Structure 1
Amino acid sequence: MASTSHRALRLLSLLGSRRIWQLRDLAARLAVSERTVRRDLDTLRELGYPILTVRGPDGGYRLGTGHTLPPLLLDHDQALAIAIALQTAPSSVFGLQDDTARALATLQQAIPDTLRAAMESLRLTTLQNYWEFPAPPIDSAALTVVGTAVRLRHILVAELLRADGTRPDPGEPDFTPPRRLEPHHLVVWAGRWYLIAYDPADHRWRVHRVDRLHPRPTTRGFAPRELPDGDLAHFVMSSHDRGDTPAAWPCTGSARLALPAHIVARWAPGGSVVEHLDTGHCRLILGAWSWAGIAGILATFDTDLTELHPPELLDACHRIAARYAGIQTTDSE
């Protein structure tokens, strides 16, 4: 009976994690027969849970509305994932330290002792890595406005901010009137939050960093459009107007690499900027404490380099190449 009850709780947890489950998928996840899953579904219905059957080729089972799930049906891995997410979220969204601490405490009070012990054992202390230069944290209110507009398909009015987060006044050279945008996707890439939106005023798609926007919601809807490039990651990386800037270092340089942008973006140090050029090339803009430091990082990609800027970076590469070329092999005898 204990095994049956545990399986029913797992089944309920699965139903709450996805809109529709097909019978074969539920059976595979629970490692039981489809007949057993049907019996467990009937058990949940007898307990008052609105398990609905969805007809059609893409149908299956889903959990209906109007009933509260039992307190937090989490397994060990889910509990750890939530603990990590809550403890690392404040580094990317401004003003969440107190909220995430309260949420973590609430979770620990609502889960079994074994899971609570696992979560409490994972107390993180986040240290600044030498290469980590995350983007400025985002105001949670602005993130909520943008995310809600994306979800509801509502026009968003947004003012463009400077890199330091200030709003230019009318008459200043960098002032632009507020834009009316059709927000389609909210994307996180390389530690930064981006809005992919269509600008009907000039009939083009744009990528905006959310921390560079002052958004205002509206209730005016719009019809969804198809991206010219259906790959969201490629679309963000290939955008030339997303407003990224490299982190502040004593030396900052750039080079054209004979590698795709998504490869370089995976291994580039935090605070650098990767620009998509074509399917086989990208430009990497990065900084270090010396020109030789930048040259050393570029060498780790083990690919052809061109268009190195500024001249000091090119000179550093030549000096390192000459130094390595002069290394003599030693006789071990």
Structure 2
Amino acid sequence: MLETSARLLRLLSLLQAHRDWSGADLADRLGVTPRTVRRDVDRLRELGYPVNASPGTGGGYQLGAGAELPPLLLDDDEAVAVAVGLRTAAGQGIEGIGETSVRALTKLEQVLPGRLRRRVGALNAFTVPMLRAPRQQGVDPAVLTELAGVCRDAERLRFDYRDHEGSSSRRVVEPHRLVCTERRWYLVAWDLDREDWRTFRVDRLTPRPPHGPRFAPRTPPADDLASYVSQGVSTRAHAAQAVVRLLVPLEEAAQRITPSDGTLEAETARSCLLRTGAPSLDVMVFHVMFMGFEFEVLEPARLADRIRESRDLLSRALDRGVPSADPRGAGPSPTP
């Protein structure tokens, strides 16, 4: 059995991880009796944590918003600073930190008192970031935390969705996970109408609460959801698909090729495989060439044919162009 202080921290972590727990479930997780759980909940309340309890068969414990922040966490100014920082990191898609920021922000906003939520909202509403590059269409951090919440609580989600052609539709899904790249956020969910897994760009959806009812989570479409989404947006979504051998190590290719460009797989110490897609084979030719690596087409054979055709077209254009400069730097000789 865990010591009391360690058990309290474990109990607090469990309460933050899900919206509600039954006393029996908490007792089972902690290896104690339901009576001990009740005493530990009382200790958390004494420390300032707002733990709500509902009686009855369907009752349980919930971590709610309180009148003040628990003393173990942050004071008001620190809480506002952390929340604004997490919102900024989540909204800007900073590589390697965005998903973690959303999880942390979801936990923090769950216990923020109303007065601090208003301060955070005002700072975000009236702050304009000056970025190093033009900002792409952004994602509202409030939408991200809302989606993270329904994923956590296994609640059905209703939303309006706009596809890449601008057509709108109403969707009802069982949300599973949020996946982020350095550019965009995606929601992986089971589409109830289409009876299949789908990937949705978060910047194209608008949640339509109320959410629910609860559902039993399904087995995800892949163990590696990041790779699954990458294949979907870079390869499966396109009419033309290809497998290309890049004659550089995987680490070098990964510095230039993003998950939105394609998926990489190590082959040898000096080569890797790229699986990618494009609207057509003609576009694929330039998509592969502009990556800037020596390569070899593995499939389809038609892509190699299109590359040859493009090579011949460029050669003819050069042959009928201006004369080459004199190698000594004097330029073409004038006509007598």
TM-score, length of structure 1 as denominator length: 0.46
**Higher radius of gyration, 1 or 2:** 2
